[in-house]
């Protein structure tokens, strides 16, 4: 028995001398091997530094559009853009201090009266222009029928222009303009363009139905 025990010890010792045996000093699992986790020379893994978390940017609050801003309900309606050659391009202010009223007679012939009350517009208005596209709802066309004394009228595209070179509108003067409208409907308001001697658009005169 002792012989077999000694033989086993010898074989075990020889096995441990092999480089691949766990008890061999060159084996990575041997405590004396530099790559063994318990060895003082074993390189320790550096802990990765955690990257700081990115701060979330605060969400931008949507600004509420106030009534009257572009694209929102409550926007004041400007005058529709006129056709080429018409002064209806862009927005025009409604002139105050000028009264106007109209009567619709047979065959959509309109008698329209203009009365200047504000001295700022006296002796200033040389043209009164009526265009179908600026009406609500739009008309098909306008034809001049009768101009005031010292005034004339002419066709301008589908509208009409009443004009004078010597007799601009004066305060306390009731002036009548007559024209015929082709339209499916004539509302209770008619928009007129008033211009000066140089044909600069002064603004809109709103005439109301009698």
Low-confidence winner among 12-26, 95-109, 189-203 (lowest mean pLDDT):
12-26
Decide if 19 contacts 11 (C-beta within 8 A): no
Question: Sorting pLDDT into bands at 50, 70 and 90, what band is 88?
Answer: very low
Query: Looking at the predicted structure, is the pLDDT value of residue 8 above 50?
Result: yes
Tokens of 63: 């600004």
pLDDT value, residue 4:
58
Q: What are the tens digits of pLDDT across the range 166-202?
A: 999 999 999 999 999 999 999 999 999 999 999 999 9
- Return the percentage of the chain with pLDDT > 70, whole number: 57
**Comparing 205 with 39, which gets the higher pLDDT?**
205
pLDDT value, residue 37:
67
**Comparing 153 with 25, which gets the higher pLDDT?**
153
Q: Where are the beta strands (DSSP E) in the chain?
A: 98-104, 109-116, 127-130, 141-146, 152-156, 159-163, 174-182, 189-195, 201-209
Query: Looking at the predicted structure, is the pLDDT value of residue 16 above 80?
Result: no
Question: Sorting pLDDT into bands at 50, 70 and 90, what band is 57?
Answer: low
* pLDDT, the chain, mean: 79
Q: What are the tens digits of pLDDT across the range 69-86?
A: 444 333 334 444 444 445
Mean pLDDT of 161-166: 98
Q: What is the DSSP string of 104-141?
A: E-GGGEEEEEEEE--GGGTTT--EEEE-GGGSSSPPSE
pLDDT value, residue 62:
53
All structural domains of the chain, each given as residue ranges with its CATH number in brackets, are 1-40 (no CATH), 98-209 (2.60.40.2230)
- Return the percentage of the chain with pLDDT > 90, whole number: 56
């Amino acid at each position: 028995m002792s012989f077999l025990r000694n033989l086993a010890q010898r074989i075990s010792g020889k096995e441990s001398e092999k480089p691949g045996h766990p008890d061999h000093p060159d084996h990575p699992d041997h405590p004396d091997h530099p790559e063994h986790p318990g060895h003082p020379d074993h390189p320790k893994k550096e802990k990765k530094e955690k990257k700081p978390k990115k701060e979330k940017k605060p969400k931008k609050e949507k600004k509420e559009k106030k009534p009257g801003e572009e694209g929102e309900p409550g926007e004041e309606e400007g005058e529709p853009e006129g056709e080429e050659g018409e002064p209806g391009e862009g927005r025009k202010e409604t002139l105050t201090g000028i009264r106007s009223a109209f009567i619709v007679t047979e065959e959509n012939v309109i008698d329209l009266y203009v009365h200047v009350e504000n001295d700022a517009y006296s002796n200033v208005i040389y043209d009164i222009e009526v265009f179908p596209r600026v009406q609500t709802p739009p008309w098909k066309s306008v034809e001049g029928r009768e101009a005031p004394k010292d005034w004339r009228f002419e066709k301008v595209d589908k509208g009409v222009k009443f004009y004078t070179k010597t007799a601009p509108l004066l305060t306390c003067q009731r002036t009548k303009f007559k024209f015929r409208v082709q339209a499916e409907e004539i509302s209770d308001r008619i928009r007129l363009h008033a211009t000066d001697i140089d044909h600069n658009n002064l603004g809109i005169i709103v005439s109301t139905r009698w």
